[in-house]
Amino acid sequence: MGQKRGRDVSGRSAVRSAREPVAWGAAAVGLLLLLWWLATAIPDLVPPRVLPSPIDVVLRFVALIAEPFSGATLLGHAVVSLERWGIGVLAAIALGLPLGIALAWLPPLRAVVTPGFELLRYIPPFAWVPIAVLWFGATTTTQAAIVFIAAFPACIINTQLAVAQVDPILARAARTLGAGSARTLAKVVLPVAAPTIFTGLRIAFSNGWMALVGAELVVGKQGLGFLISQGQINDSASTILVGMTTIGVLGTLIDAVLQRAQRLALPWRPAAARRFE
Amino acid sequence: MTPKMEIRAVSKTFHARGGEVAALQPCDLAIGNGEFVTVVGPSGCGKSTLMMIAAGLEAPSSGEILVDGKPAGPAGPRRTVVFQRFALFPSETVADNIAFGLRVAGLERAETERRVAEQLDLMGLTRFRGAYPHELSGGMQQRVAIARALAVRPEILLMDEPFGALDAQTRTVLQEEVSRLQRELHYTVLFITHSVEEAVYLSDRVVVMSKGPGRIKCEIAVPRDAPWRGLEIEEAGNHASFMQLKREIWELIRAEIVRH
């Protein structure tokens, strides 16, 4: 939400309308927690093996932070996951952004690349797990490769679309002012394309995160996905719930950081465009 | 004397699906130094195509564009363009938009600052120097576009229906302002419009084009010392000589519209 920065937003009613949805959302979460607690507090309604009480989950969370489980503490598993995710996502950006720009800027390249790319795009990231294990073993590289495969299409497709959608009249105006191709691209086209590119990055980040957890369920000896699979093997629903919550919270945080970065990077965006984020 | 800009036998044919479409028949037009020439014609007569070719943004199918008697070459800051849709860079402030061409030219920072300040002052934009285009009204945006085009001190200013997207009041104000600038600074201008009144009010010469595929039908001189020069457009329109010119040009265009 951009209410805090929006120049058109003023007065108390606007502030109230910005806070109300947050309050309602918090109330809903609170209600859910209450129902959860009630379900586990009434004896014999739900067995703890199926659904532990919220208090048990919090205790388990504290325990997992304090002492290692399946080779690492909760923080250790999270760091391993974030590292794999970071490598895969950075590789996807490093390749996807320049390639996406090139595809939009150089139409002949598009004709060469598109058919092969379209074919590869419809192979789901998990279908790459066996071949990745065969190539790289059960290593960080394998996990990062799965993240890359999940994140790359969103990077390249959105970048290409974003650049191709920039009104050609802007490039024409730049040319009449003497700008060459490189300058027009860097100073005029890319800034205008940036919001759509950012949207692509957000999708890429979350695709990568989801694919990583999936891959960790199958391959590897550390990571949040591995943690919840160990929870299953050890018949510990509270471990699974702690792992799932951590995965969800970290995913949300990643997205929030990116949205904040976008707002800092693009101060010129119309307030109207911001409000729909 | 060599004209400042010469459009020599320029024609344009577009290759569309199912054959070729002629947009422009060979056109000749010479614009003298410091002259304000306006092209009017019915919609679809190819006047915007002629402008794009004059700017170097589109290649002619035949003919050539000369500046000072030499081929004009690709688009560049010798001939800047004011577009109907403003075409401001949305990620840059007013001052940065105006400075764009100066930075491309590699001007020193102090000189860039000076010229930006000069243009801001000339177009009444000083208060808005830090604003982004989307924060401005259409009229203000077009002022920025004019300032940006003038900042690089072009030899020829090309204006493609620059007031076509503005409301009537804003248009009047900008017409009067461009007229004032022209009387003070004597730019060489090629101006495209579909408004006969605007053409008479601003120009030294009005060129009427025929219906598509366009060709230049005739040219009408507007005396620089006409009694209504320097008046507001509303007042100028009440002068007999103004009305006479307007009627004469309008009749020429009407003949084109009803021609089958």
Domain identity same for A255 and A183:
yes
Q: Residue B230 is encoded by which pair of tokens?
A: 């320097």
Question: In terms of CA atoms, which chain B residue is nearest residue A172?
Answer: B57
Domain identity same for A152 and A181:
yes
pLDDT at residue A58, rounded to an integer: 94
Structural domain includes residue A53? no
pLDDT digit string, tens, across residues B33-53: 999 999 998 888 888 899 999
pLDDT digit string, tens, across residues A156-198: 999 999 999 999 999 999 999 999 999 999 999 999 999 999 9
The residue type of A61 is F
Structural domain includes residue A54? no
The whole domain housing A35 covers 1-46
CB contact under 8 A, B92 and A268: yes
Domain identity same for A34 and A95:
no
Structural domain includes residue A52? no
pLDDT at residue A275, rounded to an integer: 41
Domain identity same for A42 and A64:
no
CB contact under 8 A, B100 and A268: no
CA atoms within 13 A on the CB side of A117: 16
Domain identity same for A31 and A155:
no
Domain identity same for A119 and A90:
yes
CB contact under 8 A, B55 and A176: yes
Instruction: Answer whether A81's CB lies under 8 Å from A223's CB.
Output: yes
Structural domain includes residue A208? yes
Residues 6+ apart with CB under 8 A from A101: A159, A160, A163, A185, A190
Q: Where are the domains of chain B?
A: 5-78+155-258, 88-153
pLDDT at residue B20, rounded to an integer: 87
Is the ipTM beyond the 0.85 threshold? yes
pTM for this prediction: 0.83
Q: From residue A162, how far is each of A199, B40, B55, B136 by CA, in Å?
A: 10, 37, 27, 24
* A154 pLDDT above the threshold of 70: yes
Q: Would an 8 Å CB–CB cutoff place A171 in contact with chain B?
A: no
Q: Report chain B residues whose CB lies below 8 A from the CB of A187.
A: 89, 92, 100
Residue among A190, A24, A20, A182 nearest A100 (CA)? A190
pLDDT at residue A222, rounded to an integer: 92
Counting the structural domains of chain A, the total is 2
Domain identity same for A142 and A20:
no
Share of chain A above pLDDT 90, in %: 69
* B18 pLDDT above the threshold of 90: no
Q: Report chain B residues whose CB lies below 8 A from the CB of A170.
A: 87, 89
The CATH number of residue A217's host domain is 1.10.3720.10
Full 3-state SS string of A231-270? HHHCCCHHHHHHHHHHHHHHHHHHHHHHHHHHHHHCCCCC
CB contact under 8 A, B75 and A172: yes
The residue type of A63 is A
Q: Report chain B residues whose CB lies below 8 A from the CB of A188.
A: 89, 91
Q: From residue A139, how far is each of A84, A136, A233, B219 by CA, in Å?
A: 10, 6, 22, 78
Q: Report chain A residues whose CB lies below 8 A from the CB of B75.
A: 172, 175-176
CA atoms within 13 A on the CB side of B230: 6
Domain identity same for A26 and A75:
no
Structural domain includes residue A270? no
Domain identity same for A182 and A71:
yes
Task: Report the alpha-carbon distance of residue A129 to residue A138 in Å, rounded.
Answer: 10
Q: Would an 8 Å CB–CB cutoff place A188 in contact with chain B?
A: yes
Instruction: Answer whether B99's CB lies under 8 Å from A178's CB.
Output: no
Q: Would an 8 Å CB–CB cutoff place A168 in contact with chain B?
A: no
Q: From residue A182, how far is each of A187, A189, A194, B77, B182 by CA, in Å?
A: 8, 10, 16, 17, 35
Task: Report the alpha-carbon distance of residue A74 to residue A68 in Å, rounded.
Answer: 7
pLDDT at residue A17, rounded to an integer: 62
Domain B5-78+155-258: top CATH class: alpha beta
Task: Report the alpha-carbon distance of residue A131 to residue A142 in Å, rounded.
Answer: 9
CA atoms within 13 A on the CB side of B210: 12
H or E stretch at B2: none
Q: Would an 8 Å CB–CB cutoff place A13 in contact with chain B?
A: no
Domain identity same for A129 and A247:
yes
Q: From residue A22, how far is each of A26, A30, A271 by CA, in Å?
A: 6, 12, 20
Domain identity same for A15 and A64:
no
Q: Quote the minimal CA–CA distance from A178 to chain B in Å.
A: 5
Task: Report the alpha-carbon distance of residue B50 to residue B59 in Å, rounded.
Answer: 10
Q: Hunting for tokens 């969800």 — which residue is that?
A: A248
pLDDT at residue A60, rounded to an integer: 94
Instruction: Answer whether A270's CB lies under 8 Å from A213's CB.
Output: no
Q: Hunting for tokens 């209450």 — which residue is that?
A: A34
Instruction: Name the residue among B75, B93, B135 with its Cβ closest to that of A176.
Output: B75
